[in-house]
Amino acid sequence: MNFWWFLLISVLKIAVVLFILLTAVAYTVLLERKVVGRIQNRWGPSRVGPFGLLQPLADGIKLFLKEDLLPTAVYKPLYILAPCIALACALTSIAVVPFGADIKFKGVDLFDIANINIGLLVILAVTSVGVYGIALSGWSSNNKYSLLGALRSSAQLVSYELALGLSLVGVVLRAGSLNLRTIVDVQATHGALSWNIFGGFQIVAFFIYLTAAYAETNRTPFDLPEAESELTAGYHTEYSSMKFAMFFMSEYANMITVSCVATLLFLGGWSSPLGHLLPSFGPILDAIFPVLWFVAKVFFFLFVYIWVRGTLPRFRYDQLMGFGWKVLLPIAIANIVVTSLWLGFVKPL
């Protein structure tokens, strides 16, 4: 593999993926406003462009042109650093997500930025560093609501990370690898029947993962860190203009990453639900169809996110902590025990 080809294709891949991710972030916001609007029996944004499709652009321009206020009592270096950390971590974790079949051009993978052996751990690592964005924003704002939101958020993230990590162990046990491509390949044999959620009997782990991931991304019903009825806006109370937009973008980028990971680990990634029943359509279409399946599954998860937001009320804080430690964690451990017994007795390695 030529080094310069590698560099060129990697830079191109990074640019394309970042562009798509940021566009997806903008349109997820629009989707959320539209769907929540329909759930609450109103229209949602509909004025800018056809069906309100240009609303994200208008929002972006508005946030970009707003005055960037710097409150007097903040601790300035960390106040500026915090949204950068949050956004950087949210955008980095997409780098190891493979979103299409294993096709190489000049020895470089086309459908992922980096294919590494410990891909799953890298995602966990990068998201665990993302806590600092929230924690530091709350502390440096010098505002009691921000501090409360940040303390809640870091406690919540650390607690639910345990359940999240343990729910993934069953999947890793089945695949015998931490490489995301291997994990998907294990699920690709018999279409939807061999996906981890059905064929791997990981449906319990799937729901644990989904619940913990909602908590990790601070989304309803776990949006205690930014509960507007008690904490005004939580950790980003003091932020305005682009800095606020960076927090906003990082939240939605995290949602998309979580949906990607859920797709890869439980719904068979880019593999088709029909397995090999579909005929081959030639090399180009065979490369594009998996990407379409992947996008459809990710869209499904994003829709569920919004659906849950429109349906469920917020937890109380002690309920949140109790649920994480007393319900999710024991079930996740039980799932690991059962899965390893099943793999040990039924399918000896």
Site residues, another protein (CB under 8 A): 78, 116-118, 121-122, 124-126, 128-129, 131-132, 135-136, 138-139, 147, 150-151, 154-155, 157-158, 161, 178
* Minimum CB distance to another protein smaller for 138 or for 290: 138
* Minimum CB distance to another protein smaller for 154 or for 187: 154
Minimum CB–partner distance for residue 38 and another protein (Å): 38
Minimum CB–partner distance for residue 40 and another protein (Å): 36
Token digits of residue 27: 């349109």
SS (H, E, C) the chain: CCHHHHHHHHHHHHHHHHHHHHHHHHHHHHHHHHHHHHHCCCCCCCCCCHHHCCHHHHHHHHHHHCCCCCCCCCCHHHHHHHHHHHHHHHHHHHHHCCCCCCCEECCEECCCCCCCCCHHHHHHHHHHHCHHHHHHHHHHCCCHHHHHHHHHHHHHHHHHHHHHHHHHHHHHHHHCCCCHHHHHHHHCCCHHHHCCCCCCCCHHHHHHHHHHHHHHCCCCCCCHHHCHHHHCCHHHCCCCHHHHHHHHHHHHHHHHHHHHHHHHHHCCCCCCCCHHHCCCCCHHHHHHHHHHHHHHHHHHHHHHHHHHHHHCCCCCHHHHHHHHHHHHHHHHHHHHHHHHHHHHHCCCC
* Minimum CB distance to another protein smaller for 59 or for 109: 109
Minimum CB–partner distance for residue 324 and another protein (Å): 15
Length, in residues, of the chain: 349
Minimum CB–partner distance for residue 83 and another protein (Å): 15
* Minimum CB distance to another protein smaller for 67 or for 318: 318
Contact 164, 209 (CB under 8 A): yes
* Minimum CB distance to another protein smaller for 52 or for 130: 130
The C-alpha angle with vertex 118 and arms to 154 and 186, in degrees rounded to 5, equals 115
* Minimum CB distance to another protein smaller for 53 or for 81: 81
* Minimum CB distance to another protein smaller for 118 or for 204: 118
108 backbone dihedrals φ, ψ, rounded to 5°? -115, 135
Minimum CB–partner distance for residue 334 and another protein (Å): 17
Minimum CB–partner distance for residue 54 and another protein (Å): 39
* Minimum CB distance to another protein smaller for 149 or for 269: 149
Token digits of residue 142: 């010098």
Minimum CB–partner distance for residue 251 and another protein (Å): 19
Minimum CB–partner distance for residue 281 and another protein (Å): 37
